[in-house]
């Protein structure tokens, strides 16, 4: 376990802000139908692909503490002995929430909730496509680039587009950045524009 003695504020934050969104998706009760549909389609593919049901691990550390990197994606996924595993960096989510509350107070909760659903759908897109490191394997920069280049289109089409075009939600700058780049490149994962955007987003030199 990463956090045998989680900080009380992290536990409260996890229970009040993160778990309700994840649980509603996992239980098929998320209120935006197309987002729920994208999630459940992935869930079905994942169950057919991996022998062991998935699990979540919570850490109240931040990605800076764990990976020596700035906050980028506060969920990390991998497959361990056939089991899809998602690491939830609660410390990162709390930092993001506080930042939103300071910058866009009236919209902070709604933007944050959308971020959680988008992040979880994105990780499930990785599992569904199999673009995911297994066991002790650590992706090379080229592998990480290819995995994000081919997975974000699925997230853009099935999650970000409905959030923006159907449900008219305000999203975080980061999520909007993916949507805008995807639309601007003509929704073409092979395009130079898309390749450059993903390389820059993940700090990978091509």
Nearer to Zn ion, 148 or 175 (CB): 148
Nearest distance in Å: CB 148, Zn ion = 5
**Cα gap 67→22, rounded to integer Å:** 24
Instruction: Give CA–CA dist 124/54, Å, rounded.
Output: 10
Task: State the DSSP H helix or E strand holding residue 58, giving kind and residue range, or none if neither.
Answer: strand 55-59
Q: Could you give phi then psi for residue 45, rounded to 5 degrees?
A: -60, -40
Nearer to Zn ion (CB atom), residue 10 or residue 121: 121
Q: At closest approach, how far in Å is the CB of 116 from Zn ion?
A: 15
Mask 36-55, x = binds Zn ion (CB under 5 A)?
--------------------
- For the CB of residue 145, give the shortest distance to Zn ion in the complex, in Å: 11
Question: With b meaning 16 or more CB within 10 Å and e meaning fewer, what string describes 41-77?
Answer: ebbebbeeebeeebeeebbbbbbeeeeeeebebbbbb
Measured from the CB atom, is 92 or 148 closer to Zn ion?
Answer: 148
Residue number, nearest CB to Zn ion: 148
Residues 96-155 that bind Zn ion (CB under 5 A): 148
- Tell me the site size for Zn ion, rule CB under 5 A: 1
Going by their DSSP bridges, the two strands 55-59 and 83-89 should be labelled as parallel
Chain residues in the site for Zn ion (CB under 5 A): 148
């Amino acid at each position: 376990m990463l956090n045998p003695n989680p900080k009380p504020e992290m536990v409260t934050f996890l229970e009040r802000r993160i778990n309700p969104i994840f649980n509603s998706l996992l239980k098929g009760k998320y209120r935006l139908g197309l987002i729920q549909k994208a999630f459940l389609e992935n869930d079905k593919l994942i169950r057919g692909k991996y022998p062991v049901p998935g699990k979540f691990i919570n850490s109240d550390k931040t990605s800076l503490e764990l990976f020596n990197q700035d906050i980028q994606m506060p969920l990390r996924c991998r497959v361990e002995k056939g089991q899809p595993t998602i690491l939830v960096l609660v410390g990162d989510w709390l930092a993001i929430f506080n930042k939103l509350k300071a910058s866009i107070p009236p919209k902070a909760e709604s933007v944050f909730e959308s971020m959680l659903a988008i992040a979880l759908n994105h990780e499930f897109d990785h599992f569904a496509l199999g673009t995911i490191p297994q066991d002790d394997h650590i992706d090379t920069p080229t592998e990480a680039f290819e995995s994000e280049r081919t997975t974000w289109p699925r997230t853009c089409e099935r999650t970000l587009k409905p959030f923006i075009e159907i449900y008219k939600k305000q999203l975080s700058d980061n999520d909007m950045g993916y949507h805008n780049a995807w639309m601007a490149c003509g929704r073409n994962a092979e395009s130079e524009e898309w390749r450059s955007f993903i390389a820059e987003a993940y700090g990978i030199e091509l």
